[in-house]
Chain A
Amino acid sequence: MFGSAVEERLSSEDRAALKRLTELKAQLISPPPMIIKTYQVGILKPGGHFDVKAEGKSDSYLRNFLNLLTSSQMGKHATGAVLFQDDQVNFKDTSGTLTGNTSYGITIHSTLTTGLQPNTFNNDNLGIVIGTGSTAVTEADYALDTQIADGEAGGEMVYLPMVDAVRTWNAGPRTWTVVCKRYFWNRSGGSITVAEIGWIVHFTNAAAQGTVDTLVLRDVLSSGVVIADDRVCQATYTFTTAAFPS
């Protein structure tokens, strides 16, 4: 359904699930749109070669994102800000504060560079982010376990602007691929092991566009990636759609 580049990064259990899903999809008159995502984290070598050290299927659209999807795709206002669970449509910011305004829907801040992909240096509260924690992902996660802060002090890395997403239409299989990447420069004086990645987006649940730092993706890497001093870490998310109908 998604091509070999995706399927080779799946576990055997996930390949079996995908095989069955493909069979079921074929039984529908008109299958709904489907999107799967994978990650790669590694070291950017001199000359631009990307030495991949950890990769796999992304296990997370977090509850924050699923609620955004419900609200924005289905025209639903948020529910209240009391409980953060399956039957609620609200979101938690990266500090754990729950937001739910029943008068408005949940949306992403409108513009690309202020809502999704920062185009400035040193922005560690928007875009792809990295951390050192390895607590298993749960749908209710709202922050990285231990985010690496932007900077040049011990344990910090410099967050570079996000490279523009590359969106490709694959005419043969009729799928889209969107590749989003970010670089992080270790100028701390010592090595840092990256063990988790995520993506922070700016949500709003009000009449005006807001900038609520909201974690929508989080993944614990298949293995920690050691970034030596003065080396650059690259973290990439790749989104792939199933075939668009003809």
Chain B
Amino acid sequence: MDFAAILEEEQRIYEHESRVFEEMRPLCKQLDIPLLNAKIGLKVLAPDREVLVDRNFFSHSFTLNQLNSMLTLCCFTYADDSGNFGVGYNSGKDKNGVIQSSGSEQLFTTWGVQEAVDKGFMASITTTSVGTIIGTDNTAEDITDYDLNAAIAHGSGGGQMLHAASVHSSGWNAGSSYYWVNYNREFQNDSGGSITVNEMALRRFTNTLASYVFVMSRDLISGGQAVADGETLAVDYELRHSY
């Protein structure tokens, strides 16, 4: 499938899933089922900020960390399966691949300040440890993913991109009855060559037990997205919670 056809199919799926979510919302409200999802926006910007590419799709892969985070919070239980990680265990795996668990404290929560840099999903300029990150690997998504396979480093060297700070915005969509929180982050290619971004993830800083970073979503970009030297990739992760 050529790249234009990939984009066309991606847009078709996005519009279809948008309609599906719209119909799901009142049904979830009737059944009292919380409905969370994530909509991703990708833009490639020319040096003069002209929008060269504008892509939209829903996240297709919450990680097991995120599923267990919902299990823990919504079912009033604890992520206490010590030493085990996988479907059927309630625990987390941090970005370093270490299994984390707790029988007495909330594992996946950031308490206190969440919207400041390097807390919650927010990254400071140049930071790669938390927030939105991008990479070049295109291995299929797996529920047990706990990090990107080939994260792009910050910098101006070969294969690197300059990581800006995350920008946080939020609001209430009255028409569709959901609260949204958007994390925008830009990555500028100053490397001298083109870089194809194939994967992206959302890393979360948590701190009730100790300070951990968990990847809550890892998404492949269908067909990848080439970012030429001098261009900028702008990523928007918009988290939505229907009421």
* Cross-chain contact A33 with B87 (CB below 8 angstroms): no
B-contact 0/1 string along A51-84, CB 8 Å cutoff = 0000001111101001011111111110000000
In the complex, the chain B residue whose C-beta lies closest to that of A68 is: B73
A246, CB-defined interface residue at 8 Å: yes
- Asked if residues B179 and A89 are in contact (CB atoms below 8 Å), the reply is yes
Is A24 on the interface with B (CB-CB < 8 A)? Answer: yes
Who on chain B is nearest to A176 by CB? B71
Q: Is the CB of A87 within 8 A of B172?
A: yes
* B1-32 residues at the A interface, CB under 8 angstroms: 13, 16-17, 20, 23-24, 27-28, 30-32
| Pick from A30, A87, A105, A201: contact of B120, CB under 8 Å | A105
Taking a contact as CB atoms closer than 8 A, the residue among B33, B64, B172 that contacts A36 in the complex is B33
| Interface bits B67-88 vs A (CB < 8 Å: 1, else 0) | 1011101111110000000011
Chain A residue, CB-CB nearest to B60: A30
> Could you tell me how many residues of chain B have their Cβ less than 8 Å away from some Cβ of chain A?
67
B124 interface residue (CB < 8 Å to A): no
- Asked if B36 is an interface residue, CB under 8 A from chain A, the answer is yes
* A178 sits at the interface (CB 8 A): yes
B37 / chain A contacts, CB cutoff of 8 Å: 32
Instruction: Return the CB mask of A153-182 against B: 1 if under 8 Å, else 0.
Output: 000000000000101010100101010100
B82–chain A nearest beta-carbon distance, Å: 14
CA–CA, A17 and B115, complex, Å: 37
Q: Does A5 contact B (CB under 8 A)?
A: no
Query: Distance (Å) between the CB of B152 and the closest chain A CB?
Result: 23
22 contacts between A and B (CB under 8 A): A29-B13, A34-B33, A35-B70, A59-B32, A61-B32, A63-B243, A73-B241, A76-B179, A87-B174, A110-B109, A110-B208, A112-B103, A165-B77, A167-B75, A167-B77, A167-B90, A169-B89, A171-B88, A176-B71, A241-B75, A244-B87, A245-B143
Additional pairs, 9, CB under 8 Å, beyond known A29-B17, A239-B76: A29-B58, A32-B37, A35-B70, A37-B32, A57-B31, A74-B36, A75-B114, A103-B113, A108-B109
Interfacial residues, chain A to chain B (CB-CB below 8 A): 13-14, 17-18, 20-21, 24-25, 27-30, 32-37, 57-61, 63, 66, 68-77, 86-87, 89, 103-105, 107-108, 110-112, 115-117, 139, 165, 167, 169, 171, 174, 176, 178, 180, 199, 201, 204, 206-209, 239, 241, 244-246
